[in-house]
Amino acid sequence: MKNLSLSILITFLFSLFACAQNSETHKLNLDFEESGKGFPSGWESFGSQDYKIYIDSLTAKSGKFSAVIESAESPSDFKALAFNLPNNYNGKSIKLSGFIKTENVSGGFAGLWMRIDPGIALDNMSDRGITGTTDWKEYEITLPLNPKNTQQIIVGGLLSGKGKMWLDDLRVSIDGKDLNDAGIEIYKPEILPAQHDKEFDNGSSIVFPDLDPEVMDNLELLGRIWGFLKYHHPEIAKGKYNWDYELFRVLPSYLDAKNSQERDNVLTAWLEKYGSLNPCENCKTTANDAVLKPNLSWIDDSNLSVELKSKIKDIYTNRNQDEHYYIGLHPGVGNPQFTNENSYSDNPYPDSGFRLLSLYRYWNMIEYFFPYKHLTDKEWSGVLREYLPGFINASNELEYELAAIQIIGDVKDTHANLWGGGDKISELRGSNFAPFRGEFVENKFVVADYYNPEFSEKSKLKIGDIITHIDGKTIDSLVDSLKTYYPVSNEASLLRDVSIDLLRSSDSTLNLTYVSENQTLEHELPLHERGSLNMYHWYKVDKDQKCYRILDGNIGYITLANIKEEDIPEIKKSFINTKGIIIDIRNYPSTFVPFALGTYFMSESTPFVKFTVGNVANPGEFTLSGNLEIPSQGNTYTGKLVVLVNENSQSQAEYTAMAFRAVENSAIVGSTTAGADGNVSEISLPGGLRTMISGIGVYYPDGTETQRAGIVPDFFVTPTIEGVKKGGDEVLSKAIEIINQ
């Protein structure tokens, strides 16, 4: 086991344990005397399935029980027990101590581990791990505390490689005092001034004048300055100001300004309100190798006074370099974490001031922290002005949602849909659906599958029939009219997402014109409520079926749609003598497999990806990381590898395909993927709207981008209408052909 991979996995599991925190009243079970179904109560586990964890009543350091981690014959990676401490604590240091006994530990180590999140400190004893067979002995880990920045503290024990370990009598102490002592101080975070500010909780009371060109110019300029100050000014970064409400305070006088001089006077007084700046001694210039650089040309391009331009540039020169109240980076990954953003969800149709705030907030988040801003079809610098009328003049909740989903669509990221708060859009699209699935095949809208075959007789259309019109409108015209409201990276994901809603309505029927057996027919199709249909999202998953099998010709087949960690060792064993292996990722992997399965195909450590990450200390800057590699673990598979992809391959599926593409004897077969990769970051907007973006840039080792382009197949193969009628799979057939060559 690689120590690095263990650290990375523990980091990625941060969010898992954040959702499983113990209450303050939970009794600490650090001696393992409490259990349920043979597992220690209050504990979690993670890591490979090649290990088992249980309570032992025969061997214990003290008391009646100990906890055991035991490996299988040929384990992969590691297994860990984890306990999330119920609080954050004041103090200088925290110590975890406990007794460990081992038996035949080899190829890795046993030890204690402790982590302070997010990314503050970690010790897993990797440099002094226990091996072989040892009797009970006490071990300890000590880490420095950082209560102000700590979100959670996790403790536990772990085993990597082969063998067996017992764990008992753990103890946690703060500066030498046991965690159960009365003198232990629980850290209570300071309530910052930004959190006390409630002045506009009941509405902004902003009244906008007519949006003539001058007003539009000024509102665009204010949006840029507001966002620039939010992410650069040191006093705002400290949480001293509710920056949403500071907008509402400056807007009335700003809108009342009769000319540019009065406007500049308002802005000058606004900047002076936040005090003078201390000289920044560690403000670095933008890195020469930055993939994206901050664009502050708008300052010089504006009609602001020379003095005001100088003040704004001075803020950049002395910008915030510490932690930030409104923005951070997720530990271990680096995608942006937009913190302390109120969604104001109690009012789904916010007033015009809050709607302007929504536009300002979103535009600036993309401006400074979206790694793919350079890939949008529109120049992002012009988008702010474009959407001012739509947001300010939205006359109801639906119009507000439509304005939001359109600007979200302009980032051209399939991750960036309206994932929450789009109630009125959903009502508009309707809750009734056809009993069959339509898909675009050979550029035609084709009946691909019945959700409920029992409705086929009444529905009349057969699988393979081509739908040409819906309610008298051609399919092409419908797609063209709807595409503005479907945030997607490329055409493949657009057609995938639109196809579901084309056969959806608030009415009880749809009038369809279709071609069946060379005849043009018309039918009033009865629709059904979603709950009465066996609908599936993008692709079917049979959870009762094994994820792997041997095809005719001694070819291994794996679908990642329902793969489990425990399947991987058996796959490696069963497929070692096959002619080739097909991995089907025309789905979303149910388990993260690039490393656990990827090592099976690597004869040597091989790079497959690198990332761009933003910079809170210099908003707008993105730098490229080094390559991430898949290691080799011996017993390398020597047959051919073929990977299947299509428009349903998105995000983790695309990342996984990149990993397998790095295999020397591999080929990608299928069609363009969804073109949305990189860990997602959530964005909250006024009115309870929720969206996301791809938060890190994902690139091949040679620097080729994957966003929007997707994973480009080596062999471009798509289904045919004839194949749909026969229930065939041309993509799979091509993969078999490649292996047999």
603 DSSP 8-state letter: S
What pLDDT, in 10s, does the model give residues 348-391?
A: 999 999 999 999 999 999 999 999 999 999 999 999 999 999 99
| For helices 306-317 and 260-272, angle between their N-to-C axes, nearest 10 degrees | 30
Domain range 3-178, its CATH number among 3.50.50.60, 3.40.50.300, 2.60.120.10, 2.60.120.260: 2.60.120.260
Residue 9 is predicted with a pLDDT of 41
**DSSP string spanning 543-575?**
TTS-SEEEETTTEEEEETTS--TTHHHHHHHHH
All CATH 2.60.120.260 domain ranges in the chain, comma separated: 3-178
pTM of the model: 0.81
What pLDDT, in 10s, does the model give residues 86-120?
A: 999 999 999 999 999 999 998 789 999 999 987 78
Strand order in the sheet with 640-645: 548-551, 555-559, 580-584, 640-645, 666-670, 715-716
What pLDDT, in 10s, does the model give residues 57-78?
A: 999 999 999 999 999 876 667 8
Residue 6 pLDDT > 80: no
Residue 589 pLDDT > 60: yes
The rounded percent of the chain whose pLDDT value lies above 70 is 96
Residue 27 is predicted with a pLDDT of 66
All CATH 2.30.42.10 domain ranges in the chain, comma separated: 426-532
Which residues have a Cβ under 8 Å from the Cβ of 161 and sit 6 or more positions away? 1, 71, 75, 78, 105, 106, 107, 108, 109
CA distance 661 to 10: 26
Strands 666-670 vs 715-716: parallel, antiparallel or unpaired: parallel
State both tokens at 175: 């500066």
Residue 209 is predicted with a pLDDT of 97
Q: Which helix (H) or strand (E) holds 498?
A: helix 491-502
CATH of domain 426-532: 2.30.42.10
What pLDDT, in 10s, does the model give residues 472-513?
A: 999 999 999 999 999 999 999 999 999 999 999 999 999 999
Residue 148 is predicted with a pLDDT of 82
Domain range 548-740, its CATH number among 3.40.1390.10, 3.60.15.10, 3.90.226.10, 3.20.20.70: 3.90.226.10
Query: How many other C-beta atoms lie within 10 A of the C-beta of residue 97?
Result: 16
What pLDDT, in 10s, does the model give residues 598-637?
A: 999 999 999 999 999 999 999 999 999 999 999 988 789 9
Decide if 48 contacts 161 (C-beta within 8 A).
no
All CATH 3.90.226.10 domain ranges in the chain, comma separated: 548-740
Residue 22 is predicted with a pLDDT of 34
Q: Which residues pair with 524 in a beta bridge?
A: 511
**DSSP string spanning 213-245?**
HHHHHHHHHHHHHHHHHHHH-HHHHTT-S-HHH
What pLDDT, in 10s, does the model give residues 398-413?
A: 999 999 999 999 999 9
**DSSP string spanning 286-332?**
PPTT-SB----HHHHHS---HHHHHHHHHHHHT---S--SS-EE-TT
CA distance 527 to 504: 8
What pLDDT, in 10s, does the model give residues 235-291?
A: 999 999 999 999 999 999 999 999 999 999 999 999 999 999 999 999 999 888 899
Residue 5 is predicted with a pLDDT of 40
Residue 4 is predicted with a pLDDT of 34
